[in-house]
Structure 1
Amino acid sequence: MNWKKYIVLGLTGLSLGSCSKFDDINTNPNAATKASAPMLATTLILDISKNSLGSISSMMNGKSIIRMEFPENAQYNYLGRASFDGLTVLNNVEKMVALSPEGTYKNSYTALGKFIRAYKFFWLSMQVGDVPYTQALLGEKGTLNPAYTSQKEVMTDILKELEEADKLFAAGAKFDGDPIYGGDITKWRKFVNTFELQVLLHLYKKTGEADLRVKERFAAIVAEKPIFQSNDDNFQLVYSDLAGQRYPFYKLGNTTQLYTMMTTVVVDRLKDLNDYRLFYYANPSAIRVAAGKEVSAWDAYAGYDPSMVYADLSVIFGGKDYSNVNSRYLELANAEPVYVLSYAMAKFMLAEGVVRGWISGSAADHYSEGIRASMKFTAGYTPDNVLFHHNRKLTNDYIESYIASDKVKLKTAGGLETQLEQIISQRYLSTFMLHAPYDAFFENRRTGYPAFPLNPKSNLNVPADKFPVRWIYPQKELDYNTENVNNAIKSQFSGNDDYNQTMWILK
């Protein structure tokens, strides 16, 4: 115990001596000592930029990746409890606005704050339903147990905040602290408006709600406001070969790739469409190549059903006859950017808007441009190395022939569901290893596409013949905000906080 005594005595001596000397010695002259609007803006923007590649569970949940280190809850449809901890970063919004100079700069920072709030609350509500919203983040003002706001009210206010953000950015100026767009307010307007299109499509069952004006808002954005126009508009995080800035799947200190396998949901769809993205997304089976298959051969690639019982997958994994993710994800520290929202996704959203009758125009043209943008993105960020494209290059000629092929082009017969299946499936393929957290889950929940395999023998949801449709509320809420969360559960789900309960947006 003597060493502890000496430390205590030493600290006591320091406290009795000159505090100013201690502060001088322990102050980093290169570190900021006061917050600023640009600094807080950076914190907020990076918070929403760190998307799903940092969470392998999102990819397992979206059935694009199998992970074999041990049986994974996400792979077998156990969602667990949501977390509200991600909202704490929003405490920076009010401070950022207060610290910004008056005039056009304050407009930009206010717009940014409104957008970040809308973005964070939207995806949280999409997980559980009603959330603390109107009274959220008021702890410093004495509201320690916030009441819950209905999902309809949350969505209504989110749409309002997004429209206000667009107007404020339009009246703003280029601002500091933005690591994605460099403070370009036009690009931010495009992002805000394109995101609002995404929100509105999730509200497609609510077109009868006159106060929401879902179809009218969608059409007005497309007709009157700036939205994504090319891959240059993607809201994406670009990586570099520097500590803390490397691609999240890069091999250095990362053992995840030792346990991953490709799924049939991705591989079989790409094969069926003769889609060269297969050769950019995956590696061939080492067993098949050793047996004489060319790396450019379609049957050198093998994906497996992600719903297979873990013990059966273990046999396949041990035999090594499977495709893993492409080596470029592992070998390139700067790999490709990872986006929250992309031009390709925007074009697929516009195609859906046309087939739903919300806007005029050619669904086929939007759909084709979405595919083109996806393929050019992948080709543009992949070095010309056989290890990464396996001699199946995504050339311009190939891309155009693919889009024009009978298997790929948007069908004119079959009605809404046939076209929707094609659009959402291509959207899914475009976001492999790229999309925001749980995007594939939410799209499948919303449309049923692409179809995910369901195996009652491995499904952790109860009942085992259904996919879960929501997360359950955080334990912290049950422990510390008991009355309010219980009221929300009662009003929405008759008191049953269950994975299979249908929230307002799904009704």
Structure 2
Amino acid sequence: MKSSYKKLALLFPLALSLGACESDFDKINTNPNNSEVAQPNLLLTQIIRSNVTRSWDVAANMDGGLLIVQHWAKIQYTNEDRYSFRPAAIQALWDGFYAGGLQDANVVINQGKAANNASYQGVGLVMRSWQFSLLTDMFGDIPYSQALQADKFVSPAYDAQQDVYKGLLADLKTASDLLASKQGSIQGDILYNGDTEKWRRFANSLRLRLAMRIADADPATARAVVAEVLGADNVFRSNSDNARLVFLDATFPNDNPVYETYKTRDDHRVSETLVTRLKAVNDPRLAVYADRPVAGGDYKGVPNGLLAADATALGLEKTSLPGIAFRRETSPAVLMTYAEVLFFKAEAIQRGFVTGVAATEYNAAITASMNQHGITDGAAITTYLAQADVAYNPASYKTSIGNQKWIALFGQGLEAWSEWRRLDAPTLTVARRPVTAAGGKIPVRFLYPTQEQSINQASYSAAVARQGADLLTTKLWWDKF
């Protein structure tokens, strides 16, 4: 955000001074062979690639959500695994979304309007809403209604999270309606190849996600949105609808960011927590989520939160890397899946938002997750579902759904973190050697970027006064329990 409003605020007086010196400056410095306006199709490609990468990259995912929810652990340079997140990385994450992806999404929306292309408008709204949802779930209250308008608001106010969610739910409904019109084609779409119906299902699946996220904080709104979305049945219907970006090759920026990181570093392993839990229920996804140690032997995870020396002593070749399915240059980065939709259906039924059989949807969700990862043996899946520690328990539905959704969301660090905070399952043990910044607890948000305190101090201070102290342990509005 700092980049978006600070950069533009600095450039504005500079442009005025240049205009005073040379009235023909723009004419002289215009290249007639280059477009002055970004082409929507090229910009859409950039928005999808760069922001999906950002959500799957080191700061948000590998050193963020995946460590916090104990899918991964660090075997070298363990600061983040002990909740000491690097301020520069958090600043870059904030700036990247605000000054890059969100600004670009606005351009696509506006150019779609200008061209009377409802499909482009809809896709732009979906991508903008998805990015805003990641930001608010990482930080809480954020600049929203005044964001992306540097000509009007150099220091934009922070909106309360409940207002951000209200706006996002409305925008996604608008996006769904625009996409339903099928007015205009979608060029440059590397997510769904121009398929407006799949984009519409993604928009409505995101509406379902956000509505269920606020089910404890605003059950009336959640119930209404969920009933509408599931009643229309225009959400993901199979794994073929999954929102995922398949990277092209081994050349940056067309490669998976996990692969790109492992080209030069070897800091991460799967968590001991993950390995232990999957072994306990004979989960066949363990063979997909983790590799056996290079030195041989059974899967071995690394405890979260070790000091660097203790972690390194476990041995790089004696511990399990995240599975090769997640480390290839062309491995997909996932935004949302059919399994997630089915888990939400099960929970919505259990809460009485819609009718149906919760256990049926729950079992279908686990099956969809298995199938997503290439596990299609029906008998093996049936045996897995029959286990006492897996079978759906309506009296403790948050635990049942939380435990299995945590497994299904492996690799999707930010979403796994959000659902763990909301459902309070599975039970995770705090890092072994946490730093004092987390107060001996598992973080439930990121700290605001340090430059917000100087660049946007008044708005930052108002947000902190409303939301609570700018600490890793301050719960977000929707995190009620």
Give me the TM-score of the superposition, normalised by structure 1: 0.79
C-alpha separation between the residues in 2 aligned to 1:224 and 1:464? Answer: 45
Name the amino acid aligned to 1:482: Q
Distance 1:463 1:87 in 2: 26
Does 1:303 pair with 2:289? no
Contact 2:342–2:362 (CA under 8 A) maintained in structure 1: yes
**C-alpha distance in 2 between matches for 1:326 and 1:97:** 38
1-structure distance, mates of 2:51, 2:255: 17
In structure 2, relative to structure 1, the CA distance for the partners of 1:356 and 1:264 (3 Å cut) is: farther
Q: Which of 399, 405, 409 lines up with 2:391 in the alignment?
A: 409
Q: Does 1:60 align with 2:71?
A: no
Change (3 A) 1:121 1:251: closer
Distance (Å, rounded) in 2 between the aligned partners of 1:64 and 1:116 = 26
1:365 aligns with 2:341: no
CA distance change for structure 1 residues 394 and 306 in 2, over 3 Å: closer, same or farther?
farther
- Deviation at residue 430 of structure 1 after TM alignment: 1.7
CA RMSD of aligned residues (A): 2.9
Which residue in the other structure is 1:11 paired with?
Answer: none
Render the CA deviation track for 1:293-313: whole Å, top value 9, x for unaligned: xxxxxxx22223213444433
SS in structure 1 at match of 2:259:
coil
Match of 1:441 in 2: 417
For the residues of structure 1 that align with 2:366 and 2:472, how far apart are their CA atoms? Answer: 34
Asked if 1:217 is matched to 2:220, the reply is no
Superposition pairs of residues 305-454 of structure 1, within 5 angstroms: 305-317=303-315, 320-330=317-327, 332-334=328-330, 336-379=331-374, 395-412=377-394, 415=395, 417=396, 419-433=397-411, 435=412, 437-454=413-430
Q: How far apart in 2 are the matches of 1:353 and 1:101?
A: 35
Separation in 2, partners of 1:464, 1:143: 36
| 1:11-160 correspondence runs (5 A) | 34-50=37-53, 52-55=55-58, 56-58=62-64, 59-73=66-80, 75-79=81-85, 82-83=90-91, 84-85=94-95, 86-88=97-99, 89-100=101-112, 106-139=117-150, 141-160=151-170
CA distance in 1, matches of 2:152, 2:438: 42
Q: Secondary structure at the match of 1:177?
A: coil
User: 1:236 deviation in Å?
Assistant: 0.4
3-state DSSP of counterpart to 2:257: coil
For 2:43, the aligned partner's letter is L
Largest Rg, 1 or 2: 1
Matches within 5 A, 1:267-278: 267-278=275-286
Unaligned runs of at least 5 residues, structure 1 = 1-21, 290-299, 380-392
Once the two structures are superposed, residues 164-219 of structure 1 have per-residue CA deviations (whole angstroms, 9 ceiling, x without a partner) of: 111111123332121111121111111011111111121122235x5xx2112111
In the alignment, the residues of structure 2 paired with residue 112 and residue 327 of structure 1 have an alpha-carbon distance, to the nearest angstrom, of 32
- In the superposition, the TM-score normalised over structure 2's length comes to 0.83
* Shift in CA distance, 498/261, structure 1 to aligned 2, threshold 3 Å: closer
Question: Are 2:201 and 2:234, in contact at CA under 8 Å, matched by a contact in 1?
Answer: yes
Contact 1:146 1:484 in 2 (8 A): yes
Q: Tell me if the contact between 1:51 and 1:338 (Cα under 8 Å) persists in the aligned partners.
A: no
- Are 1:375 and 1:394, in contact at CA under 8 Å, matched by a contact in 2? yes
> How many residue pairs align between the two structures?
442
**Percent identity, aligned pairs only?**
25
1-structure distance, mates of 2:459, 2:114: 38
Contact 2:343/2:361 (8 A) holds in 1:
yes
Task: Give the SS at the match of 2:182.
Answer: coil
